[in-house]
Amino acid sequence: GAVVSQHPSRVICKSGTSVKIECRSLDFQATTMFWYRQFPKKSLMLMATSNEGSKATYEQGVEKDKFLINHASLTLSTLTVTSAHPEDSSFYICSARDLTAYGYTFGSGTRLTVV
């Protein structure tokens, strides 16, 4: 089945620094990937849709200058949290849709802690 690899799984960074999270589709091409944020014991909140070769589409209330998304190839999307602050600490998850099948495949998530 389709596999999405997300790295790193955990990252701790200092306040004010930037952190990059990678999301790769391993055995299929993904023209569209999605980035979610999840708080403890809560559901996933869509942050943005990452489109290969074009600008990401951000959901209302998500700062595009803070959460930079790049989707330079059909298998890789990156999310960069710029000038991170403690309130950015969260679980970030990416997903991709394999157009040959129904359903979305999710990465294993990245636990970001900003200290």
**Single residue of 7, 64, 85, 111 touching other proteins by CB under 8 A:** 111
Q: Contact between 61 and other proteins (CB under 8 A)?
A: no
Q: Does 103 bind other proteins (CB under 8 A)?
A: yes
The secondary structure element, H or E, covering residue 11 is strand 10-13
Asked if residue 19 lies in contact with residue 84, where contact means CB atoms within 8 angstroms, the answer is yes
66 with 18: CB under 8 angstroms? no
32 belongs to the binding site for other proteins (CB under 8 A): yes
Cα–Cα distance measured from residue 76 to residue 33, given in angstroms and rounded to the nearest whole number: 9
Cα separation, 30 vs 101, whole angstroms: 12
Number of residues counted as binding other proteins (CB under 8 A): 24
Q: Least CB distance from residue 32 to other proteins, whole Å?
A: 6
Q: Does 6 bind other proteins (CB under 8 A)?
A: yes
Which of 90, 99, 112 is closest to 14 using CA atoms? 112
107 counts as binding other proteins under rule CB under 8 A: yes
Task: Name which position in 71, 95, 112, 114 contacts other proteins (CB under 8 A).
Answer: 95
Q: Judged by CB under 8 A, does residue 44 bind other proteins?
A: yes
Instruction: Assess contact for 98 and 2: CB atoms under 8 A.
Output: yes
Site residues for other proteins per CB under 8 A:
4, 6, 32, 34, 41-46, 49, 91, 93, 95, 97, 102-109, 111
